[in-house]
Structures are given as structure tokens and as C-alpha cells.
Amino acid sequence: MKICMYTSEFPPDIGGISTYVYNLSKKLVERGHEVTVITRGTWRKTYYEKIEGISVYRVRFIPFFPSPFKIHEIYVTKLLKSLKFDFDLIHLHGYFLPVKPVFNSSLPVIFTSHGNSTKKLDSMEVKTLHFFIVKLLRKYLFKVEQEIVQKSDILTAVSNSSANNFRMYHSIKREISIVHNGVDTDFFTPPENRSNLKSVLYTGRFEVFKGLFDLIECSSIVCKKYPDVKFILVGTGTILENLKKQVKKLELDDNVIFTGSLSRSQIIEYYKNTTIFVLPSYREGFPTSLMEAMSCGVPSVATDVEGCDELIEDGENGILVPPKNPEKLAESIIYLLENEEFRNRIGINARDHIVRNYDWETITDGFEKLYYRLSSRDA
């Protein structure tokens, strides 16, 4: 089957959608499918590359406000025409991209929602220029979302909360298939021996909704009791400099480490050697980083928000804490640092839960069934 993945992000971009599309595409190629990824490039010309059997087109993107998607749409349309729309279906991921070229074709379309409706941007707290621009675009993005919901042949979501979110804002009565995020459980494995150094790890984007200001405040509380604990933050984003200023203000330069963006092979070394993983987000779709940590058997603390609450059973395979509460976050981290037996038990349970439910083979099985259903319907 010839499958076109249309997405706003793809590695080396950092983000849940990027990781999701990469892993799904890789598994589909392994099963003999032809996969083409069309994604956002830079302001320079569109270029092609082959990544692990996946054909990747990075389409020219000129961030010209207020209509960056209008210009991008021209280049996407040009590319699809040059490829003669030679696909069996298009799999659309997210809504931060122009969709008219997709729906103007005669190809069947499957859409995957990776998180909250853009309607939730209305209540988003603006602390950076990036989010100010995103919020200005919210009306346009919601129209894109409505078009996707109305015109896609099959709707899917990565979590129950994501599906419920779409039902609420769009009054959707037809089926939304839940096909969860997945993890490469053969790659993300527990170590034989974990480092004795006490550390707390975060991996992901540095954005306001990720709750990282709370994490820095929490680290101040933890480090007063345990001065040797290191907080390691892997990734980058729009609030990086703000976070560094907060670290300096709280005199935590010796305790908080910013690694910058790392490759998959580098990140796994941190998972294998950290004591605790933490995800302090205010909202999530179905968090990849949390799943990777759990697959590595890392005892994890996450906020009790949509997505995280589907992965963690509090006290059994992880700990859930209220969002925007650095004190509770610190309390849970300290408890794990002081209780090795409990720490080991929830780490083992976390790995078992991920392997049984979220291996990429299982996820790919689910999408293959939907693809064949869609192609037979179109025949």
C-alpha cells in the first residue's frame, strides 16, 4: 500500500507528533508498505531525503505572518501535483498545516488528533512571542480543525481524552477510533544497573504548558533537603532563556542541567541512568516522553491531566500530582528518593504496563486495519 503521511513535524523536529509519525512510518515500511512523508521545511527550497526507507519531502515554509499557511499551501499543492497524487490514502497528523491540497484530491483521508482542540487556545496563558502568534491564529486554526473533522473519511485520536475533546467542541456523532501512541519497547529498555547518582529527568519541548517553571521551583524545594540531586532538562524551546534566568535567580546553577536537544541514542542513556522521571505539564495528548521513561522502567511523577491519567495508575505504576503545584511535585520526588523499594516496584510495573499495551507492533496493527478498511471502502 502507498501511504502519504502529512504532518507539520518530523525528526529532527522535537515533539510528540514527530516521534509518532516517525515510528509508525518505520513500522509500516518494515511491513512492506511504501511510505512518503510530507512535512514542513525551512524558507529555502523544498528538498527530498530518504530516512530508513521512508521518502521524506520537506516543503518550503516561509513564516510570513499573518498568513504563513497560505504560502505553504502553494508549495504543498505543487509537490502533490508533481507526485501525481500517487497514493492509496493520506494520513493527516495535527492541524498546524494547510489542508486544502489534501481535501482537493480524490484520495481517502484518515486524520489523527494528537491532543486538545485548538478551541482550548482561547484560555491559553501567553508568556512568549511564539504563543502570542499562535493565539492570534486560533480562529484560522479552528476553521482548519472543523474542515478536517467534516471532510476526513476516518477520525482517530491518540487518547480517550483527545477524542472526548473533539466530540465536545465539534458535536461529533460518528465514530472516533482510539489508536494510542506507542513505544519501541525493544529500544527503550531498563538497564541492568542504574546509576547511583540521584537525578530527576525531564525530556521534551520547553514551552509554558509543559510546567517547567513549576519544575524549577520544585527543584529548589528538593535541593534544600538533598543538595546533591541533579535536575536534568533535555530539549529546547521558546522559554529556554526564561528558565535559565529562573535557575540563576534561585541559585540552582549547580543542580539544574540543560543539555539542549539530543539524539534518540543519547536520550536513552539519560533514561537508563536517571532515578526519577517527571512530567509537570498543564495539558497533554498522550505523552511520548512519559511512555519512553516508563518503558525504561523509570519511576515517574506526572501531573494529573488528560493523557497522563490514562497511562498512570496512581501509586501502582507511577505517581500523579495536581498541575501547577510545585510543592506536591517536590513532595512526591522526595518520597521516591527516600523509598527505594517503592521506587523499584512502580518502575517494574510501569515497564510491564507499556509492553502489554503500547508496543508499536500493536499500534501499527490497529492502523493497518483502518487503512485496509478505508481502501476497500474507496474501491
Is the pLDDT confidence value at 215 over 60? yes
The average pLDDT across 109-130 equals 66
Higher pLDDT, 314 or 69: 314
**pLDDT for position 285:** 81
CATH code given to domain 199-357? 3.40.50.2000
pLDDT in tens, 137-179: 777 778 888 889 899 999 999 988 888 888 888 877 788 999 9
pLDDT-derived band of residue 116, with 50, 70 and 90 as boundaries? Answer: low
**pLDDT for position 93:** 95
In the CATH scheme, what is the homologous superfamily, with its name and number, of domain 2-182+359-378?
Glycogen Phosphorylase B; (3.40.50.2000)
Is the pLDDT confidence value at 29 over 70? yes
Torsion of CA 4, 9, 12, 14, to 10 degrees: -140
Is the pLDDT confidence value at 104 over 70? yes
**pLDDT for position 139:** 74
> Residue 53 contacts by C-beta under 8 Å, 6 or more apart in sequence?
26, 29, 30, 35
Per the structure block, which three cell numbers stand in for 376?
A: 476497500
Number of other CB atoms surrounding residue 49 within 10 Å: 10
pLDDT in tens, 256-297: 999 999 988 999 999 999 999 999 999 888 899 999 999 999
pLDDT-derived band of residue 126, with 50, 70 and 90 as boundaries? Answer: low
% of the chain residues with pLDDT over 90: 69
> Residue 329 contacts by C-beta under 8 Å, 6 or more apart in sequence?
214, 215, 218, 278, 280, 301, 303, 321
Which regions of the chain does DSSP assign to beta strands (E)? 2-7, 34-40, 47-51, 54-59, 89-93, 109-113, 154-157, 176-178, 199-203, 230-234, 256-260, 276-279, 300-303, 319-321
Q: Give all strands of the β-sheet with 300-303 in edge-to-edge order.
A: 256-260, 230-234, 199-203, 276-279, 300-303, 319-321
pLDDT in tens, 340-355: 999 999 999 999 999 9
The CA distance from 37 to 21, in Å, is 9
Torsion of CA 168, 170, 173, 175, to 10 degrees: -90
Is the pLDDT confidence value at 230 over 80? yes
DSSP 8-state symbol, 226:
-
Q: CA angle, 162 as apex, 35 and 77 as ends, to 5°?
A: 40
**pLDDT for position 48:** 97
**pLDDT for position 142:** 80
How does the average pLDDT of the chain come out, rounded? Answer: 90
The CA distance from 95 to 259, in Å, is 30
Distance of CA 318 to the CA centre of its chain: 19
Q: Which strand (E) or helix (H) includes residue 368?
A: helix 360-378
**pLDDT for position 24:** 96
Question: What single-letter amino acid sits at 69?
Answer: F
| DSSP states along 66-104 | T-HHHHHHHHHHHHHHHTTT--SEEEEE-SSS--HHHHT
The CA distance from 303 to 325, in Å, is 9
The CA distance from 333 to 274, in Å, is 13
Is the pLDDT confidence value at 14 over 80? no
CB 89 within 8 A of CB 106: no
Omega cis (within 30) before 11: no
Q: Which residues pair with 179 in a beta bridge?
A: none
Residue position matching grid coordinates 498512570: 312
Is the pLDDT confidence value at 128 over 60? no
% of the chain residues with pLDDT over 70: 92
Is the pLDDT confidence value at 134 over 70? no
The CA distance from 70 to 57, in Å, is 18
Give φ, ψ of 255 to 5 degrees: -110, -25
> Domain segments of the chain: what residues?
2-182+359-378, 199-357
**pLDDT for position 121:** 55
**pLDDT for position 378:** 60
